[in-house]
Structure 1
Amino acid sequence: MTIMDAGIEDVYKTRVTGDVQAIDRVDPTVWGTEADGPVDAATLAAHDAKGYHIVEGLLSPAEVQTYWQELVRLSSDETLKADERVITEKKSGEVRSIFEVHKISELISELIRDPRILDRAKQILGSEVYIHQSRVNYMPGFKGAGFYWHSDFETWHAEDGMPRPRAVSCSIALTDNYPFNGGLMVMPGSQRTFVPCVGETPEDYYKSSLKEQEIGVPSEHEITKLAAEHGIDQFTGPAGSALWFDSNIMHGSGNNITPYPRSNIFLVFNSVENALVAPYAAAKPRPTFIGSRDFTPITR
């Protein structure tokens, strides 16, 4: 079934040919209200304006240690090395990410149901939610590769079939985030602009794009325009802090050439009212460990 067959209008066209023109977002950034969850009105307003907010001390030092040990266990598990869900660095061969980690780790399965996380996701999206994607990211010292500027929603829309940017990501730091060890950079307010990308999606593109993305990235011209309008903020802070950010915010990170590793748990919540359809700019959906097609709401 195609998008046209389903009668769903594509208001965020991407993977096009020729010149692109940025599109003003037609959807809210925050769908819920203060009465819907733990986030106060001021924080919701800031998230709506900037497309992100930070929760310091989401995890206690003891919890950080527990989850850090879990990341070490997962990356050392020889039985996982051949699993397609494990992505390695293009040059070094070291583990870069482990996807669908909430189905691999009981600890992280419990974490997605933690009221500190689940209730905030439901409040921001104004509905019940499910996990669109989960992973742990490893950025080792000296040779950790960064992520080029991109909008997650552009990829999820084009390759997974996510209709609208009604999704929010939670990145929980398990190591201290410094300005110099590849901390995530965001352009505050850029979530209000959808930037189409040029180029046709190759067959099974996920196999290479998870290591280094070449299609689905904005032009230097568009990045320059957004940076001039919005500036760049960086997520820094101690382990246990969490960054909540909109699916369409422009973000990226530099390489880590310091001795200090940077690792995090990355959880993507999508509204159950925004369930995936056929991809908007790919021949078939990516595997479900990257973009889940189980829309069952998360319950405690």
Structure 2
Amino acid sequence: MVLQHSDTLPVTDRIDRYPTRLDAPSDHIERTHPTVWGKVENPALANFDADGFASVDELLTADEVADFSAEIGRLAGDPALRDDDRVIVEKASNQVRSIFEVHRLSAAIAELARESRVAGMARQLLGSDVYLHQSRVNYMPGFRGSGFYWHSDFETWHAEDGMPTPRAVSLSIALTDNYPINGSLMVMPGSHRTFVPCLGSTPAEHYRESLQEQEIGVPTEADITSLANRYGISQFTGRAGSALLFDSNLMHGSSSNITPFPRSNIFLVFNSVENTLVEPFAAPEPRPGYIGSRDFTPLSS
């Protein structure tokens, strides 16, 4: 059974159209909010409404890839950041897994996020000015890089950050070649139209564990099987400099990397200024601002 939820009321009314972190299994919720809120002008985004994602070839030039690779290498190796809460390390290897709020640590990445070729795509899709809900760099080293289990980002942003509706998009910019063998991102085309409620209550400061390995806020194996049978699975591969832009509710994940070929990317989340955060819908308190920003200042080009 699929439930229908009305979106006729303003998001500020605190009606929860996407209940999650439940005590018992619940039916999937068919999304009624739009995927494309504005007017798409970029041909690369033509299938975004249907698929929930779009691949963009050569978003960065080879020289830019080299410059940003050096920049994220500098950040990962900076001893002053090693004990910073924004730096997440792998449980097993103690290597850097992610660095959050990277646009505040790197002027070059902050400038990139504002550029029309980047933020401009988000404005087209979301139909409004946008701000950075989250920014990070993800590192997946060779041999020991851990994957990310299947999940919808919106489920977490709704439950733990208080994002009212899935009016947000993520841009993953590859700084290394993405092969089918080195843990590249897998997505379920069209799954952005189905919200999957998850089980379990959210502990206080859950983000400290979930950023290393998420166990609460993930679908069941039965949910994943149902979605995969309905939508199928595609994989994002491409040369360094290519990018994947995807809807906040798209089901996605990645396997571990046991190859010698590392995988790293810049990850930028754009939220509509008309979809700003309220109190969390399924957590005792909001996550820190470096994970879910409460600075809603629109990005200027």
TM-score range, shorter-chain basis?
over 0.9
Structure 2 counterpart of 1:53? 54
1:203 CA displacement: 0.8
Shift of 1:114: 1.1
Q: Is 2:288 aligned against 1:287?
A: yes
* Alignment correspondent of 2:297: 296
* 2:24 pairs with 1:18: yes
Code of the aligned partner of 2:264: S
Q: Give the drift of 1:103.
A: 0.3
Q: Residue 190 of structure 2 contacts residue 231 of structure 2 at CA under 8 Å; is this kept in 1?
A: yes
2:102 corresponds in structure 1 to 101
Q: SS state of the match for residue 177, structure 1? A: coil
Residue 9, structure 1, aligned to residue 10, structure 2 = no
Once the two structures are superposed, residues 230-283 of structure 1 have per-residue CA deviations (whole angstroms, 9 ceiling, x without a partner) of 100000000000000000000000000000000000000000000000000001
Deviation at 1:7, TM superposition (A): 2.6
| RMSD (CA atoms) | 0.8
TM-score by length of 2: 0.95
TM superposition shift of 1:32: 1.0
- What do the CA deviations read for 1:137-190 (whole angstroms, capped 9, x no partner)? 000000000000000000000000000000000000000000000000000000
- Residue 116 of structure 1 aligns to a residue whose secondary structure is coil
- The CA deviation at 1:44 is 3.7
1:106-135 residue CA offsets vs partner (Å, 9 max, x unmatched): 110110111110111100110000000000
TM-score, normalization by structure 1: 0.96
The equivalences for 1:96-175 within 5 A come to 96-175=97-176
What amino acid is aligned across from residue 68 of structure 1 in structure 2? S
Structure 2, unaligned stretches of length 5 or more? 1-11
Q: Which residue of 2 aligns with 1:275?
A: 276
Q: Write the distance in 2 (CA, Å) between the matches of 1:151 and 1:136.
A: 19
Q: Which residue of structure 2 lines up, in the alignment, with residue 222 of structure 1? A: 223
Q: Which amino acid aligns with 1:167?
A: A
Whether contact under 8 Å (2:37, 2:126) holds in the other structure is yes
Contact 1:189 / 1:249 at 8 angstroms: preserved in 2? Answer: yes
Percent identity between matched residues is 63
5+ residue gaps, structure 1: 1-5
C-alpha distance in 1 between matches for 2:209 and 2:14: 29
Which residue of 1 is the match for residue 7 of structure 2? none
Whether the aligned pair in 2 keeps the contact of 1:30 and 1:125 (CA below 8 Å) is yes
CA distance in 2, matches of 1:182, 1:147: 9
Indicate if the aligned counterparts of 1:102 and 1:108 stay in contact, CA closer than 8 A.
Answer: yes
Answer whether contact 1:30 1:44 (CA < 8 A) is retained. Answer: no
Paired AA for residue 39 in structure 1: N
Cα deviation, residue 19, structure 1: 1.8
Q: Name the aligned partner's letter for residue 14 of structure 1.
A: T
Give 4+ residue runs of structure 1 displaced > 6 Å after superposition. Answer: none
Aligned amino acid, residue 85 of structure 1: R
Match of 1:39 in 2: 42
Whole-angstrom distance in 2 between the partners of 1:121 and 1:212: 28
